[in-house]
Amino acid sequence: MPERIIKTALVTGSTDGVGRVVANRLARDGMRVLIHGRNRERGESLVAEIKAGGGTAEFLAADFAALAEVRRLAEAVAKTTDRLDLLVNNAGIGSAGPKGTREMSADGYELRFAVNYLAGFLLTYLLLPLLRKSKPARIVNVSSLGQQAIDFTDVMLTHGYSGSCAYCQSKLAQIMFTIDHADELKGTGITVNALHPATYMNTTMVCRAGVTPLSTVEQGADAILNLATGAAVAGRSGLFFNGQQEARADAQAYDVEARARLKRLSLELAGVRSAAA
């Protein structure tokens, strides 16, 4: 009998919240799961939990506030596995910062744009060789219904900053990247879709913002797993979902010129030479 292939998934931001639930369920369903987060103690705790349930997992640490760490994460993934069947770009930070102040990443970029969008943008390009080897493969970008059109004259929000604006802009950028990347990946066997998993889940991010949860991380995980492993979306790409229903994003997501501007800027900021890198 042919040897059974064990599929591998990387779930960023999976030491807490909805990412933790997704990682657990993927492992329970037989996938090898690469856990990512900043906190090693929480990461190793999740690995132990998965292994206790008979699953396979490893923890890889990286702080997405620094693109150098994103690059190191991609290198660590390549050393850990020779295949990657699923990439879930889930890591992110919410709209609530210290006293609403504008924060910067290690690279000098507005923090929410850097962590919620640019880190995943770079990581995805760096992991494309592994995804191509493992086709059919899927990329899932965990975005939000909270979206705001990008002002390309002030992407880093140096004027009139608000954490809410920064968060919503970063989440729309994820969707714009999803649509663009789907076009790039046509014919490669890799699909990429984005979603708003659920509204105000009972996550640390929501609680820190002082918001009363309206849904659970289990509901959010159901929606993410629908795109990650669901048969109904197999071969479909460049879509945005609200939960498990296909939906429309902000109008700017469908503006070809706006997406092209964002792509050029992102390639430059992330230090990626070309879209084929």
Catalytic residue positions, numbered = 167
Which amino acid, one-letter code, is at 121? Answer: F
For residue 144, give the nearest of 69, 191, 203, 184 by alpha carbon. Answer: 203
In Å, how far are 11, 204, 261 from 208, measured between CA atoms? 22, 6, 33
Q: Is 176 within 8 Å of 259 (Cβ atoms)?
A: yes
Distance from C-alpha of 130 to C-alpha of 85, rounded to nearest angstrom: 8
* Alpha-carbon radius of gyration of the chain: 17
DSSP secondary structure letter of residue 81 = -
Cis peptide before 213 (omega within 30 of 0): no
Q: Is 249 within 8 Å of 240 (Cβ atoms)?
A: yes
What are the residue ranges of helices labelled H in the chain? 17-28, 40-52, 67-80, 111-112, 119-133, 163-184, 204-208, 217-229, 256-270
